[in-house]
Chain A
Amino acid sequence: MSVIGERVPRSDGRAKASGEAEYGVDHAEPDMIWGALVRSPVSSGRITRLDTAPALAMPGVHAVVTAADAPDTRAGWVLRDQRLFAADRVLYEGQPVAAVAADTLELAREAAAAVVLEIEPLPAVVDLDAALRPDAPLVHPDWESYVPALGPDADYPRHGNLAAESVSDPPGVDDAFARAHRVVTDEFVVQRQYQAYIEPKSAVGIYRDGRFTVHTAHQFPYNVRDRVSQFLDVRPSAVRIVGHTIGGGFGAKLDAALEPYAALLSKAARGRAVKLVNTRTEDLITCPSREGAITRVRSALDEDGTIIARELEVIADNGAYSGEMPWLASIALHCARGVYRAGPTRVTARLVYTNTAPTGAFRGVNGTYLYHAVERHMDHIAAELGVDRREYRLRHLFDDGEELLNGQVLTDAGILREGFEAIEAAAPWAKLEAERRPYRGIGIAAAWWLTNPMPGTAVVKLHEDGTAAVITAATDNGSGAVSMGVTQIVAERLGIPPSDVFVTLPDTDVAGFDAGSQGSRTTRIVGKASQIAADEVITKLKDVAAGLLEAAADDLEVADGTVRVKGAPGTSVPIAVVAATATNTVGPIQGTGSFVTPFPDFNPGCATGLMLPSFPTPTYHVHLAEVEVDPVTGTVQVLRYLVAQEVGAVISPDGTYGQVMGGVTQGIGYALHESLRIGEDGRYRERTLESYRLPLAGDVPRVEFFPLEHPDPDGPHGAKGVGEGPILLPAAVIANAVSDAIGRPLNNIPITPEEVLAALQTAELRNDEEHVR
């Protein structure tokens, strides 16, 4: 019986529910001591005094380290612009200035507080537009000396506070605007969003035999290895990262955080294992949150209302250091038209250094606010034209063979229309419009997205008892991609139950490179690599079983826990017997598989700074929401939420639905509840989970989900990515629905009760005045 598409228990479910699972924050080592960081209390300033002596003098303190104790080098994922410790200037609140190791966590924190740190404040660069003005103070006066990780010759436009830029300027834009019948213009502003995983970041560092080992719960252990090696100036193989069960990451655990500090402290403490763990406030204010951004869109329309050209400019907040952000800047090119034809489109994406915590990856990177802008803009155009919003979208919708701004051709974009139809069948648009009640509104939006193509590898090892181990550095950050997806795929191939497949936790000394839990890639990439590895196991099983069954290997099949003769299932031998026989004859059976998706063809001349050139393994998404606004408080309740999503093939129904429900929930939080404001001083205003409000079960309806399945020939069982897509559109559809409900445009995210109520009361006032006239 096939286990693909079936509900199977997740392999880590029992341990997580019972409390047996060891998360990174639970990990302990013999003789372990504790660390704490001294962090900058201000967002911009010059260090005038740093005295570690009072901390070092405290009994029980093993080490205190500062920039003077770390290699004089800069590190970074895309651009090497980051020091381990601030040396002379501090560039954001929370930036590490020193680290201490002591017998207990409490003592470490007391010692950190005892370090004397005096900072002369400097003006903070916070406002994005202001940061780009010629007279703005430079966040990095030395920006020219920084080296891209890909080498000094990388196509990497940047200048001053402009941390990265990607520009596409095709011919015909200005001509179209010159002859336009009508031009529609919008500006959208979105805040940051904190990933708000349950498990705060932690790390245990051990320096032993000249090598660094770090235990951490991380989405991308190999990236941590590389970052620790850069910061500590050792070769990558001198660093070993051991992964643990992850209490959520959502992109925030893709780059190193506490790991290099734990490693350095252990060396300073003569090899004692040192554990660092963030308080929730430390975690929140230093997390690489989703970036705030300003998006400006203009569309040129002809007399029929057809869009004939567009300009889109996005200015995004990089924070004080670059992380993964420059690599993502070119996503604006891929989303500037959404999924609608819009003629030649000029796209300018600017990433700006500010004196704030560095931003980074968060599920649906850049897409959440780009789609919010594009889809709000579509509603605005339809309103200007007085035409139905859904019809207007369908009129411009991509079809099979659509050629994109980067030259990539979407052969299967017609799936989008199926998505609209699936939603229509469950929630007919005309019916929703006809049944409109006061303060209720509906919104609809669509998107396309990639499945991250980066490489993965797996070894499938057969035990002598007929069970299998999958050795991989892939991580399950809660999605079930490993605990269900990869497990099911290997079980299916080997004809054994999923409960007989064990997948290791990552260890960079043991498993090959894996590009981490990001971009919806794990089920597809690691599933495929595991499938290839399992096929090698099958070949070896058949070769050994051929001798046992006195049959030709080509006549054998592996199924139901046996190797058997095709067409004669009675002639079989259990896998366990074959595995044991092999061990003592030809040697233990294992197989290896690797996989990477090639980037789809694109036109390299279409843009400058095109670091993410095209979107591999595209998926398609249509969302609809119905909301109700409380006219007294301005709060918004989401009444109904529908998702039609292309997934290739459903491997795990629970995993797939879980990702859809979770992504929409996070998107609703982004749209309505989660406020992460930065004051003029560059410091966050929300600093705990009391003021940073995540949506609760009562704030989120049960999502109605309609999977679209067009199997991908290269994916395992046809699977494409699932996890990111669901968060792309909630901000767009909810903003459209709320604007519809109150009859006024709301163009900022999050949508606050303040803004809604002010808009309602202004409208009432205007109505009253008109009434009086």
Chain B
Amino acid sequence: MELSTADSVDEALDELSRRGERCRVLAGGTDVMIQLARREIAPEHLLHVERLGELRAVETDGSTRLGALVTHRDLAVGRLGPGYAAVAESAATVGGLQTQVVGTIGGNVCNASPAADTLPALLVHDAEVTLRSVRGSRTVPLAEFVVGRRVTTRAPDELLTTITLGRPAPRTGDVYLKVGRRSAMEVAIVGLAARLTFDGTGVVTDARIAVASVGPRPLRSVGAETALVGGTGDAESVHAAAKALLQDVDPIDDVRGTADYRRRVIPGLLGRAVRVCAQRAEG
């Protein structure tokens, strides 16, 4: 296996164009190195992109754009600013500090784990991802980019360069809640992100609900979102939203938790998320 380091995005795109599927992109390495050690992947070539400073930028004027190499730690300490609590909270729960300081948002997205913490948080913020190749550039909604368990629509010659988030409206609150057996260093048993916008009377005018670890890929529940809009985060609307959410998910029994537990935990978790969003929307 060969290793090369790209010094510019163009150089990286050239390499990817030439090597395609034989090449694996390496950023922080927190997933790739483990997959190599477990012999789950055996690429001919590793393309190290971690030094591409232009992919580390965060822009918050107008839309919020972050480079693919922004680390979990950058996000956890709030580099995106107010309005993106869910993103910060999700990044803060990825592994331990050693993982967070090298692990990147682009890597977490492309790894497309069913349990990826940041994906529900990005989904509730209407994330779009931009991919570049020598052929050009395309931008797609995150929900259409991650299409299955560890499956994305990234072409072998494409590099994820930028993630763009929507701007939260006034009176919006967001949150990421994670269920694990212990207080940190957990792969989520369930991860749930919510973003709710309220009007002046406390009625929900816009809702985003997304979950991880309850199906082959993290996903938004439009049914739950619809059930919440028009309510006040009251028990009835939360109950209806939970019912809709449970219809959208397809949890399995795995070593971390049972499908039954995942289903049991979702309604209460959703209720807690709605309460937190309401509080944060006021603040």
Contacts and interface: CB of A to CB of B under 8 A. Distances in A.
A690 B272 CA distance: 27
Contacts of A753: 179, 181, 189, 257, 261, 265
Nearest to A692: B255
Given A758-B264, A761-B264, A633 B257 contact: no
B256, B257, B261, B271 — which one has the most chain A CB atoms within 10 A of its CB?
A: B261
A691 B254 CA distance: 10
Interface string B182-205: 111111010000000000000000
| Residue of A633, A691, A752, A757 with most partner-chain B CB within 10 A | A633
A634 interface: yes
A753 B189 CA distance: 11
Contact of B265 (A634, A637, A673, A685): A634
Contacts of B265: 632-634, 753, 757
B268 A695 contact: no
A757 B272 contact: no
B255 A633 contact: no
A698 B186 CA distance: 13
A131 to B, nearest CB: 25
B260 interface: yes
A634 B266 CA distance: 12
Given A633-B265, A753-B261, A699 B179 contact: no
Contacts of B258: 754
B46 interface: no
A602 B260 CA distance: 52
Interface size class of A (residues with CB under 8 A): 20 to 34
B182 A691 contact: no
B269 interface: yes
Given A673-B182, A754-B257, A758-B264, A632 B187 contact: no
A685 B255 CA distance: 7
Nearest to B272: A632
Contacts of A754: 257-258, 260-261, 264
Contacts of A616: none
B269 A633 contact: yes
Contact of A632 (B182, B256, B268): B268
User: By DSSP majority rule, is chain B's interface helix, strand, loop, or mixed?
Assistant: loop
A699 B264 CA distance: 23
Interface in A653-673: 672-673
A672 B180 CA distance: 12
A199 interface: no
B271 A757 contact: no
A632 B184 contact: no
B269 A632 contact: yes
Interface string A633-648: 1110100000000000
A693 B268 CA distance: 24
Contacts of A635: 179-181
A633 B186 contact: no
Nearest to B187: A690
B241 to A, nearest CB: 15
B183 A698 contact: yes
A358 to B, nearest CB: 23
A144 B268 CA distance: 57
Interface in A386-412: none
A421 B61 CA distance: 64
B179 A633 contact: yes
Contacts of A103: none
A699 B185 CA distance: 11
Interface string A693-717: 1011011000000000000000000
Contacts of B271: 632
Given A633-B179, A693-B181, A757 B255 contact: no
A686 interface: yes
A637 B187 CA distance: 19
B48 to A, nearest CB: 23
Contact of A695 (B182, B260, B264): B182
A752 B268 CA distance: 17
Contacts of A41: none
B261 A691 contact: no
Contacts of A691: 255-256
A669 B261 CA distance: 21
B268 A633 contact: yes
Nearest to B190: A633
Interface string B92-122: 0000000000000000000000000000000
Nearest to B95: A690
Given A691-B255, A754-B261, A757-B261, A696 B272 contact: no
Contact of B186 (A631, A637, A693): A693
Interface string B236-275: 0000000000000000000111101100110011011000
B246 to A, nearest CB: 14
A499 to B, nearest CB: 35
Contacts of B187: 690
Contacts of A631: 268
Contacts of B186: 693
Nearest to B38: A688
A198 B257 CA distance: 26
A761 B272 CA distance: 16
Contacts of A632: 265, 268-269, 271-272
B181 A686 contact: no
B123 to A, nearest CB: 21
B181 A673 contact: yes
A757 B179 CA distance: 12
Nearest to A750: B181
Contacts of B180: 635
- Which residue, of B182, B255, B258, B261, has the highest number of chain A Cβ atoms within 10 A? B182
Given A631-B268, A632-B269, A633-B268, A696 B185 contact: yes
Contacts of A698: 182-184
A696 B180 CA distance: 12
A69 B185 CA distance: 45
Nearest to A632: B268
A672 B183 CA distance: 12
Interface in A718-773: 752-754, 757-758, 761
Contacts of A672: 181-182
A341 B270 CA distance: 50
B185 to A, nearest CB: 6
A530 B258 CA distance: 54
Interface string B118-141: 000000000000000000000000
Nearest to A689: B185
Contacts of B182: 672-673, 693, 695-696, 698-699
Contacts of A685: 255
Contacts of B261: 634, 753-754, 757-758
Given A685-B255, A691-B256, A696 B184 contact: yes
B233 to A, nearest CB: 15
Residue with the highest number of chain A CB atoms closer than 10 Å, among B181, B185, B257: B181
A418 B264 CA distance: 45
Interface in B178-235: 179-187, 189
A109 to B, nearest CB: 11
B238 to A, nearest CB: 12
Interface in A536-560: none
A689 to B, nearest CB: 10
Nearest to A675: B181
A698 B256 CA distance: 20
26 contacts: A632-B265, A632-B268, A632-B269, A632-B272, A633-B265, A635-B180, A637-B183, A672-B181, A672-B182, A673-B181, A675-B181, A686-B255, A691-B256, A693-B185, A695-B182, A698-B182, A699-B183, A753-B179, A753-B181, A753-B189, A753-B265, A757-B261, A757-B264, A758-B260, A758-B264, A761-B264
Given A634-B265, A757-B265, 6 more contacts: A673-B182, A691-B255, A693-B181, A696-B185, A754-B264, A758-B264
Closest 3 CB pairs of A and B: A632-B268, A698-B183, A754-B261
Interface of A: 631-635, 637, 672-673, 675, 685-686, 690-691, 693, 695-696, 698-699, 752-754, 757-758, 761
